[in-house]
Amino acid sequence: MYYDQKDEKLPLISIIIPMYNREKTISRCLNSVLFQSYSNIEILIIDDASIDNSVSIVNSIKDHRVRLIISKKKIYAQGARNLGIINALGNWILFLDSDDELTSDSIMNRYKTLEKYPDTDLIYGDPINIKFKNLNDFTADEFKKYILKELSLCAFSEILVKKKCIEQIGYLDEKFKAWQDDSLIVSLVMKGFILKHCGYIVSIHHTSDNQITSNYDKLLQGVSRMVNIYKKEIIDTNGYYRYFLWKLRILLNYFGTKNSIISKKIKNKLKKYLLIEFEHIWG
């Protein structure tokens, strides 16, 4: 079923897309949003000082729902998302990375979950190309492309969240260079907000040359910051925080396999850091 944008009973959903040098992918990304079955949307593209043709491509799209905001200086992905949140007119925020796509009923399927569970604060779904599997089945190349995303509860392109919830946690933490989606989820969990899985595939992930998940220094910085902020919760509780610790263990175990592409220096740094922080509960 396709809903008319003029149906005032439907909430306006603000889709925030941070963009930096995405001339090869931004059209594909935007088309996946413009042809959604749920049409009461606004699309905020936050350009992070691109130096390619990304801005020109966006400007060529004639659709009143598209809003382009250009940052003259680098603010990076988290800063771009925060700028989009501040400028969003909708009460609901949907994030989408500029190299990813939404499935055709992505928003509608999450909205149906909201109708069923009106007290929900965040609704997420699955990406099409990520399935849980035995880590031993991964090759080194598959690891580089997929494993870090698979270990997330959900990535930004799967998240639909109330704007007021993000405001209440003080917006997104811009100091994170990796694990940014996990930072948001844990912050919301700590505030007691309600998360629901919609049960649908909602996005298509694509790999890009400049993805943060391929930068292991930033990965370690993200791990360090997550642990420094949430160490007490990880130690004291058995909920999402222990799930986070389990994720770190999987990372560490995989880094130790013979097929690992991680340098010994980075691997040993992560191992030393985690064993010191969680020696008494590492088990």
**What pLDDT, in 10s, does the model give residues 69-99?**
999 899 999 999 999 999 999 999 999 999 9
For 212-269, write each residue's pLDDT tens digit.
445 667 767 777 787 778 777 777 766 656 666 666 666 666 565 544 555 666 677 7
Q: What is the pLDDT of residue 260?
A: 52
Considering the chain, tell me which residue range(s) the CATH 3.90.550.10 domain(s) occupy. Answer: 13-209
Q: Find residue 126's DSSP bridge partners.
A: 201
Q: Domain 13-209, what architecture?
A: Alpha-Beta Complex (3.90)
Query: Radius of gyration (Cα) for the chain, nearest Å?
Result: 19
Instruction: List, as own/partner pairs, every contact residues 68-76 make where C-beta atoms lie below 8 angstroms and the sequence separation is at least 24, other chains included.
Output: 69/44, 69/45, 71/46, 71/47, 73/49, 74/48, 74/49, 75/48, 75/49, 75/174, 76/48, 76/174, 76/177
For 125-159, write each residue's pLDDT tens digit.
888 865 434 434 445 455 444 444 444 557 899 99
Nearest to 244 by CA among 185, 188, 194, 195: 185
Alpha-carbon separation of residue 123 from 69, 84, 128, 238 (angstroms): 26, 19, 17, 22
Alpha-carbon separation of residue 267 from 104, 146, 217, 218, 246 (angstroms): 40, 18, 11, 13, 17
